[in-house]
Structure 1
């Protein structure tokens, strides 16, 4: 039995609801003991939110700490950790739109932001998450990133920007995020093709159960991703130990 910890931002909530739905139906993938913990909003994850503590990550942000004081938990021995936080594009996307800037080469209208400066912005936004990833991996645990849901058709920014612009910005942001993770030897579990429609937007069938929530996904999406994680888990566990953070720079 593989004990798998999945922890992260608010998008982890859909994963937990999906896990619970599959468990109730007796359809959870076999051979995995799942621990899924949504810490809360990702708004605070571009600031210091953890510190090393006896080989574990001690969460210092109050709301996160109330849900899980340590990663991994002090009373648990886990075989791998999935993080639903490194590929969240929303913080940077909102900043770009509100500032009226766009990375060079994205095809999006706005004051041009050089590729180098854009990469710096994205890496700075995820710096504390990358440090957490490196810390956990350097401690000997396989770690992987889980892609969050993409942009839904009723995203509020579609009132001012076309879907093409938002998808281009999302793609540009996640390209930098994926490169940073690859430098640390961290694989990603990506969305399956059936999660999005022919335009690249998320399918409405995966919208949050609350109709007023325009960017979180529902239990059906969570169940889809739980199955996808299970399908990829053997390869994720077989991955070699990553390079140190210094070697990746």
Structure 2
């Protein structure tokens, strides 16, 4: 089974997760899982590819030297599945410190501006417009694709100092549920973050935090390895 995983910066944890499994002898012999970041998450909210009919050409200048087109194929042949990171990456909507101290999706208090679910939903779909177009492209040309969920919020994220954790967790879950609904409507499988990775309030356990103490968004290779195991389990269920 050949699998190619690409997308935003959360692919880095998946790449190191693959390396960890290989080094520990836990990667099945009949699996080849290649991971390569194609574009940063912030660039996904702008046009970053051109549909050429049977492939898309990536045009974002910052990442033009990495992957130039999708679907990706190596020197030998194509892949059985493509995995995409980015459609379940919610942090852009909750990590800006100046937004949520003054706004709330709950009952307003102390002069807060209420944010309706319809407005939140619109914001999610606007952010994901181009990623959704990419998924539609894959479906149109018959490429098997699945989507990988990004880590849930971490309590050490600096946004937490200024934002009610309940708001942050709510926005993250709301965002992902909007996208999960859309992906289900397109019959796109999703690899979700395992329950063992986060607490009852929806926050990631610290043991999965990135090695860089200043990084409040990304996960480490142990999380990446767990997610790759989830990918393998998904593939086994398809046999």
TM-score under structure 2 normalisation?
0.90
Shift of 1:43: 0.6
- Kindly report structure 1 stretches of 4+ aligned residues shifted beyond 3 Å: 94-97, 99-103, 106-110
2:118 match: 116
Supply the distance in 1 between the matched residues of 2:65 and 2:192 (Cα, whole angstroms).
29
Supply the distance in 1 between the matched residues of 2:148 and 2:108 (Cα, whole angstroms).
27
CA-to-aligned-CA distance 1:4-25 (integer Å, 9 cap, x gap) = 1110100110000010111112
Indicate how the Cα distance of structure 1 residues 58 and 230 shifts in structure 2: closer, same or farther if over 3 A, else same. Answer: same
1:157 match: 159
Task: Please list, as runs of the form range in 1=range in 2, the aligned pairs for 1:160-175 lying within 5 A after superposition.
Answer: 160-175=162-177
TM-score under structure 1 normalisation?
0.87
Task: Please list, as runs of the form range in 1=range in 2, the aligned pairs for 1:196-215 lying within 5 A after superposition.
Answer: 196-215=198-217
Q: The residue matched to 1:4 in structure 2 has which SS?
A: strand
1:148 match: 150
Contact conserved, 2:96 with 2:159, CA < 8 A, in 1?
A: no
Indicate how the Cα distance of structure 1 residues 65 and 208 shifts in structure 2: closer, same or farther if over 3 A, else same. Answer: same
Size of the aligned set, in residue pairs, is 234
1:66 match: 65
Supply the distance in 2 between the matched residues of 1:181 and 1:93 (Cα, whole angstroms).
21
Supply the distance in 2 between the matched residues of 1:136 and 1:73 (Cα, whole angstroms).
11
1:216 match: 218
2:88 match: 87
2:186 match: 184
Contact conserved, 2:97 with 2:159, CA < 8 A, in 1?
A: no
**Greater Cα shift, 157-166 or 10-19:** 157-166
Shift of 1:114: 2.7
Shift of 1:40: 4.1
1:3 aligns with 2:2: yes
Shift of 1:135: 0.3
2:37 match: 38
Supply the distance in 2 between the matched residues of 1:31 and 1:113 (Cα, whole angstroms).
49
CA-to-aligned-CA distance 1:88-134 (integer Å, 9 cap, x gap) = 0011223595263334xx56764223322221111010000000011
Supply the distance in 1 between the matched residues of 2:236 and 2:136 (Cα, whole angstroms).
21
Q: The residue matched to 2:99 in structure 1 has which SS?
A: helix
Contact conserved, 2:56 with 2:70, CA < 8 A, in 1?
A: yes
**Greater Cα shift, 14-23 or 87-96:** 87-96
Q: The residue matched to 1:67 in structure 2 has which SS?
A: coil
Indicate how the Cα distance of structure 1 residues 180 and 81 shifts in structure 2: closer, same or farther if over 3 A, else same. Answer: same
* Unpaired segments ≥5 residues, structure 2: none
2:14 match: 15
Indicate how the Cα distance of structure 1 residues 74 and 108 shifts in structure 2: closer, same or farther if over 3 A, else same. Answer: farther
Supply the distance in 1 between the matched residues of 2:13 and 2:219 (Cα, whole angstroms).
6
Supply the distance in 2 between the matched residues of 1:35 and 1:137 (Cα, whole angstroms).
21
Q: The residue matched to 1:98 in structure 2 has which SS?
A: coil
